[in-house]
Amino acid sequence: MRADLRLAWLLTRGSDRREWWRVLLTAVGAALATGLGLVVAALLPLDGYHEVTVGAGLLDEPGTRAGVIVALMLLLIPVGGFLGQCARIGAVHRDRRMAGLRLAGATPGQVRRIAALESGLACLVGSGAATVVSVPTLLALWHHPDPLSWAGMLLVAVLVPVLGAVVSAVALRRVVASPLGWIRRVRPAAGPGRLFRVATGLLALLALYLATTPFLGNPFDFALVPVTVFALCLLAGAVSVWLAGASARQLGEGFAARARRPELLIATERLRDDPWALARTHAAVLLVTVVASGFIGVRQVLLADLHEQHRRGHLAMGLSYYTSGLDLTGAAVLVALALVLTALAVGTAESLATRRRGLAAQAAAGVPHAVLARAMLLETALPLAPAVAVAGMGGLTIGVWYGSATSEHMSVPVPFAALLVPLAVYAACLLAAATSLPLLRRSIRPAELRYA
Amino acid sequence: MSNGDDSPDSTVPLLAARDLAKAHGRTEALRGASVELAAGEILAVTGPSGSGKSTLLHCLAGIVRPDAGSVSYAGERLDALPEKRLSELRRTEFGVVFQFGQLIPELTALDNVALPLMLAGTSRPDAHARAGEWLERFGVRGQEALRPGEMSGGQAQRTSLARALVTGPRIVFADEPTGALDSLATEQVMTALTHTARETDTAVLLITHDAQVAAYADREVRLSDGTVAPEFSTEATEAAV
Amino acid sequence: MIGMSTRHILLGLLASGPSHGYDLKRRHDERFPQARPLAYGQVYTTLQRLVRDGLALVEGTDSDGGPERTTYRSTEDGSRELARWAGEIAPPAPFVTNEIFAKVVVSILSGGDPAAYLAAQRAAHMERMRELTAVKTAKGADLATVLSADYALNHLDADLRWMTTTAARLTTLTAEVDAA
C-alpha cells in the first residue's frame, strides 16, 4: 500500500498541466458536494421547531426544513455531473498511463488502488477544505450542536473521498481487463446503456400512473404531487438526452451530405461520428432545463394561488414567507445551471485539448482560425437545439399539469415564461462553449505539431 | 505574389531563407540556417534527430516566425506578413504533409481532399469532382468514402498528398511523410509525390531522416545542430585527403 | 551479381529450355538489369565447362543462314546441381572489413582528415542512390529493374548509416588508433 501511495504521488506530481486541472476541479467539485452534504447532515437530526438565524425562517419548521433538505440533496445531481465532467479531463491520457502500468507488470489490483488513491486524494483535499470552513461556521451559528450532527458531518467528510476513490476504480475496469486492447482500441460510439433504457421505461410507467391517478377517480393524494413532478422532470430529462443522441446521427448525416460550408461539414461529420458524446456531455444541461422551465411554471401557479389566498386573507404568515421559499428554490436552480454550464465549458475545453495535434495540423495547412472556431461552436449548437426545445416543452408541460392538478377551481394561465428558459439556456450554453475559444488559439500553435 | 521588381532571371530562388534562428524555450533549434529552393526543385533536408529539420520547415512554410533571419517567397518577406495573409498563402500557394494528423478523422477521404477547395470558396460538387481526380491520380481509387481510421497508413498518406496538391500549390512541404510507413508503402508514396511534383512543376521541401527517401530528391541539404552542414564535393575532398 | 556463380545462373537460364550462347547473354542482361553485363567470352567458356562437368549437353547446331550457333541444354545432373545451389543459404554478412573503414583508419594514421573523407564518401553514396532511385522510378521500369535497384539501394543505405555512426564517433576512434 505504501508503494502504491508513493507511485500515485509520483504519477500525480509528474503529470502535465491538464492533469493538474483535473485534480483542482475535482477538489472543487468534492468541496461543493461536501459542503452540501455537511449542511444536510447538520439539519437532519433537528426535530420539531427551532429558531434558525439563516434561511428566512424556512429552517424553523420541520415541514419546510424537509423541503430545503430535499432541495439541497437535489443540488447534488448537478454537482455530480460537474465531477463527472472533470474526471474526463485528460482521461484518455490517464487511461493510457494506467494501461502502461499494467503492461509494465502492475497487477489489476495495484492499478485500481493507484487510480483510486489519485482521485481519492483530490477529493480528500476538497472535502477537507469544505469541512474546515463549515465547522467554525456551524459553531458560530449554533452553540451546542447535536452530537448526531457531528457524527453525520464526519460521515459526509469521509464518505466523499471514499466515493471518489471507488468511482475512479470502477471507471478503470476496462483498462484493467485488457490493457493492450484499451491502448489500441478506438472507442466506439456507444449509445445509452441498458440501465438508462430500463430507468427511462420505469420512469415513464410511474409518470403515466401518477398523472392518470386523478382521472381514474382515485382520491388524489396531494403528497404525490412533488413525487410526480420529480418523476416527470427525470423523464423529460431522460427523453431529451435520448433525443439529443438519437437525433445527432440523423442531423449529422443529413447536414453532412448537404453541407456547403467547410465548418458545417466538419461539425456535422463529427456529430455523425460520435452522436452520443454530446448527449452525454449535455445530459445535465438538459435535466436542468427541464427543472428550470418546470419550476417557472410551478412558481407562476403557486404565486397566483398565494396572491389569491392573500387577497382573501387565508394566509397564516406574511406573503414574503412563502415567496422567499420560491426565491431560494430559484436560486438553487440558478446554482445548478451555473454548475452544468461550467461542466459544459470544461467538456468543450477537454474535447479541444484531446484534438489539439490535429487542429494544429489543420491550422498549419492554412485552415483559417475562424473556420475552426465556427465548427467548434456548431458542434454544440446543432445537437443542442432540438434537445433543449424538447426539454423546455417537457418543463412547460409539467407546469401546465401542475396547474391543472392543484387548482381545479381556479383558471391558471399557461406559463409561457417557461418558454424563455430553453432560449436562455441555449444562449448560455453557446457562451460556455465560447469560453474555449482562447484555448483553441493556443491549441493550434505550431509547437503542438512536434508532439505525437 | 510577384510584382514589378520580380526579375525575369531564372536563377532567383522561389523560396530563400537566410541565417534563420529559432529557439524553443532554451533549446536553440536553428542557429543561422540558410536554404534556397528553386521553382520545381525537390530538395531533401536530412540530419539527425534534434538537428532542427522540423523547425526549419515550419519557418519556411510560414507556420512559425523565426527569431532572426529572413524568409522570402517569390520576392515577398514571409517573416513580416500578418498571420491572415500567411494562412492564405499556406492554403493556396503551399501544401503541407506531415507524418500523420493532417487528415480530419471524421471526414471521408473525398471530403478531406475537397476541404482546401471548399475553404477557397469552391462549391462542394465541384470540389468533389476535382478531389476525386486527385485521389485517382494518387491511386486511392474506390476509397473515397473511407475515413482516415479505416485506411492503411500508405493510403492515408497518399490521401494527404492529394489534399496538399489539390489547390495547385507551388511548393509542397513534407515533414517525414513516410515516417510511419513500411518500405513498400514508402516507395508508393514517394513515387506518387515525386512524379506528380515533376509533372506539375511543383517544388518540394522534403524533411526526412531516411537516406533512401532523400534519394528521391534532386538535391540534399544536411542540417546539424541547427545549421546547414558544409557541402563536400568529391573533388574538394580529393584535394584535402 | 558477378562474382557469384555465373555457371549456376546460366544453368538457371537453361532450365526453361535449350538455348544458344548469344540468347543466354541477352536474357541474362534483361533479367539482371543493374548487374554488370556478361561478356560473350565468359558465356562460352562457362558453357564449355558445364558440358565438361556433365551438367549441360550440346543439343545441336543451326546456322539460319547466319553464323553457326551451338544450342545447349541442361542435363539431369545439371537440374540437380541447380536445385542444390538455389536452396543453399548464402553466408550471412561475409565481410567484416571494408574499404571505407580501411580508408578511415589509414587517414587517422597518416594525419589526414577522416571526417572530410566520410562526408565526401557520403555525398558520393547519395549521388549514386539518387541515380538508382531515378532508374527505378522512371516510367515503365519493370519489376526486375526496381528490385535490383532496391537491392543496391539498401546496401548503399547500410553503408551510409554506418558512415553516419562512424562520423559521430571519430574522436574516440582517433584516440584509440593513435594509442595503439
> A272-294 burial, b for 16+ CB within 10 Å, e for fewer?
bbbbbbbbbbbbbbbbbbbbbbb
Residue B212 pLDDT: 94
Kindly indicate the confidence band of residue A316, based on its pLDDT and cuts at 50, 70 and 90.
low
Under 8 Å CB-to-CB from A62, ≥6 apart: which residues?
A46, A47, A48, A49
Give the H or E element holding residue B70. Answer: strand B68-73
B49 touching C (Cβ < 8 Å): no
In A262-408, DSSP assigns E strands to: none
Q: What percent of chain B has pLDDT over 70?
A: 90
C124 touching B (Cβ < 8 Å): yes
A438 touching B (Cβ < 8 Å): no
Of the two residues C63 and A408, the one the predictor is more confident about is C63
Kindly indicate the confidence band of residue A242, based on its pLDDT and cuts at 50, 70 and 90.
confident
Say if strands C19-20 and C69-74 run parallel, antiparallel, or are unpaired: antiparallel
Tell me whether residues B232 and C120 touch, CB distance under 8 A: yes
Tell me whether residues A365 and B164 touch, CB distance under 8 A: yes
User: Per CB distance under 8 Å, which residues of B are interface residues toward A?
Assistant: 24, 54, 58, 61, 63-64, 84, 87-92, 94-96, 98, 101-102, 104-108, 111, 115-116, 118-119, 123-124, 147, 149, 163-164, 175
Q: State the Cα–Cα distance between residues B158 and B177, nearest whole angstrom.
A: 9
Which single residue is written with the C-alpha cell 487528415? Answer: B103
A interface mutation test: which of B54, B59, B63, B175 has the most A CBs within 10 A? Answer: B63
Query: Which chain B residues are within 8 Å of C161, Cβ to Cβ?
Result: 211
Q: Which of C116, C126, C132 sits opposite B240 (nearest CB)?
A: C116
Kindly indicate the confidence band of residue C160, based on its pLDDT and cuts at 50, 70 and 90.
very high
Say if strands B42-46 and B219-224 run parallel, antiparallel, or are unpaired: parallel
Tell me whether residues B215 and C153 touch, CB distance under 8 A: yes
At C56, give phi and psi (nearest 5°).
Answer: -140, 160
Tell me whether residues A365 and B102 touch, CB distance under 8 A: yes
- Mean per-residue pLDDT for A100-114? 76
Residue B202 pLDDT: 95
- Quote the crossing angle between the two packed helices B153-165 and B183-200, to the nearest 10°: 10
CB atoms within 10 A of CB B21: 19
Tell me whether residues A446 and B58 touch, CB distance under 8 A: yes
Query: Which chain B residues are within 8 Å of A363, Cβ to Cβ?
Result: 87
Please tell me the distance in Å from B120's CA to the nearest CA on chain C: 34
At C9, give phi and psi (nearest 5°).
Answer: -65, -40
Tell me whether residues C157 and B232 touch, CB distance under 8 A: no
Tell me whether residues B88 and A366 touch, CB distance under 8 A: yes
Cβ pairs bridging A and B (under 8 Å): 85
pLDDT exceeds cutoff 60 at A187: no
Kindly indicate the confidence band of residue A255, based on its pLDDT and cuts at 50, 70 and 90.
confident
pLDDT exceeds cutoff 60 at A314: yes
Chains touching A by CB (3 or more pairs below 8 Å): B
Query: Which chain A residues are within 8 Å of B61, Cβ to Cβ?
Result: 364
| Sheet of strand C69-74, all strands in order from the earlier edge strand to the far edge | C19-20, C69-74, C56-62
Q: State the Cα–Cα distance between residues A4 and A121, nearest whole angstrom.
A: 13
- Mean per-residue pLDDT for C98-108? 86
Please tell me the distance in Å from B85's CA to the nearest CA on chain A: 10
Enter the C-alpha cell of residue B37. Answer: 529552393
Kindly indicate the confidence band of residue B136, based on its pLDDT and cuts at 50, 70 and 90.
very high
pLDDT exceeds cutoff 50 at B2: no
Q: Are residues B19 and B32 in contact, defined by beta-carbon separation less than 8 angstroms?
A: yes
Dihedral angle, C-alpha A55, A56, A60, A64, nearest 10 °: -80
Q: Are residues A398 and A239 in contact, defined by beta-carbon separation less than 8 angstroms?
A: no
Q: State the Cα–Cα distance between residues A389 and C170, nearest whole angstrom.
A: 74
Please tell me the distance in Å from A417's CA to the nearest CA on chain B: 40
Q: Are residues B183 and B215 in contact, defined by beta-carbon separation less than 8 angstroms?
A: no
Q: State the Cα–Cα distance between residues A72 and A331, nearest whole angstrom.
A: 11
* C to B contact (≥3 Cβ pairs closer than 8 Å): yes
Of the two residues B180 and B70, the one the predictor is more confident about is B70
- Residue range A270-307, pLDDT digits in tens: 888 877 777 777 777 888 888 888 888 878 777 777 77
- Residue range B148-186, pLDDT digits in tens: 888 898 899 999 999 999 999 999 999 999 988 898 999
Of the two residues A240 and C23, the one the predictor is more confident about is C23
pLDDT exceeds cutoff 90 at B56: yes
Enter the C-alpha cell of residue A87. Answer: 474526471
- Mean per-residue pLDDT for A79-93? 73
Q: Name residues 29-88 of chain C within 8 A of B (Cβ).
A: none
Enter the C-alpha cell of residue A345. Answer: 465549458
Q: State the Cα–Cα distance between residues A153 and B182, nearest whole angstrom.
A: 62
Residue A186 pLDDT: 45
* Range scoring the smallest mean pLDDT among A29-43, A239-253, B115-129, B178-192: A239-253
Kindly indicate the confidence band of residue B34, based on its pLDDT and cuts at 50, 70 and 90.
very high
Query: Which chain A residues are within 8 Å of B105, Cβ to Cβ?
Result: 273, 358
Residue A195 pLDDT: 64
Q: State the Cα–Cα distance between residues A170 and B112, nearest whole angstrom.
A: 39
- Mean per-residue pLDDT for A187-201? 62
The radius of gyration of chain C from alpha carbons, rounded to an integer in Å, stands at: 22
Say if strands C56-62 and C19-20 run parallel, antiparallel, or are unpaired: unpaired
Q: State the Cα–Cα distance between residues B206 and B73, nearest whole angstrom.
A: 17
Tell me whether residues B216 and C133 touch, CB distance under 8 A: yes
Tell me whether residues A262 and B115 touch, CB distance under 8 A: yes
Q: Which of B54, B87, B95 sits opposite A368 (nearest CB)?
A: B87
CA separation, residue B25 to residues A447, B22, B29, B175, B190 (Å) = 11, 9, 10, 22, 34
Kindly indicate the confidence band of residue A148, based on its pLDDT and cuts at 50, 70 and 90.
confident
Q: Decide: helix, strand or coil at residue B227.
A: strand
Residue B241 pLDDT: 36
Please tell me the distance in Å from A427's CA to the nearest CA on chain B: 27
Q: Are residues A182 and A171 in contact, defined by beta-carbon separation less than 8 angstroms?
A: no
pLDDT exceeds cutoff 50 at A203: yes
Of the two residues C11 and A413, the one the predictor is more confident about is C11
Tell me whether residues A366 and B58 touch, CB distance under 8 A: no
Q: Which of B24, B102, B107 sits opposite A266 (nearest CB)?
A: B107
Q: State the Cα–Cα distance between residues A290 and B200, nearest whole angstrom.
A: 60
* Range scoring the smallest mean pLDDT among A32-36, A166-170, A364-368, B232-236: B232-236
Under 8 Å CB-to-CB from A251, ≥6 apart: which residues?
A268, A271, A382, A383, A386
* B to A contact (≥3 Cβ pairs closer than 8 Å): yes
Tell me whether residues A260 and B124 touch, CB distance under 8 A: yes
> C148-180 burial, b for 16+ CB within 10 Å, e for fewer?
bbbebbeebbebbeebbebbeebeebbeebeee
Tell me whether residues A262 and B119 touch, CB distance under 8 A: yes
Tell me whether residues C133 and B215 touch, CB distance under 8 A: yes
Q: State the Cα–Cα distance between residues A290 and A282, nearest whole angstrom.
A: 12
Residue in A347, A394, A385, A396 with CA at minimum distance from that of residue A244: A385
Of the two residues B17 and C102, the one the predictor is more confident about is B17
pLDDT exceeds cutoff 90 at B70: yes
Q: State the Cα–Cα distance between residues A360 and A372, nearest whole angstrom.
A: 10
Q: Are residues A306 and A315 in contact, defined by beta-carbon separation less than 8 angstroms?
A: yes
Tell me whether residues C117 and B241 touch, CB distance under 8 A: yes
Tell me whether residues C116 and B215 touch, CB distance under 8 A: no
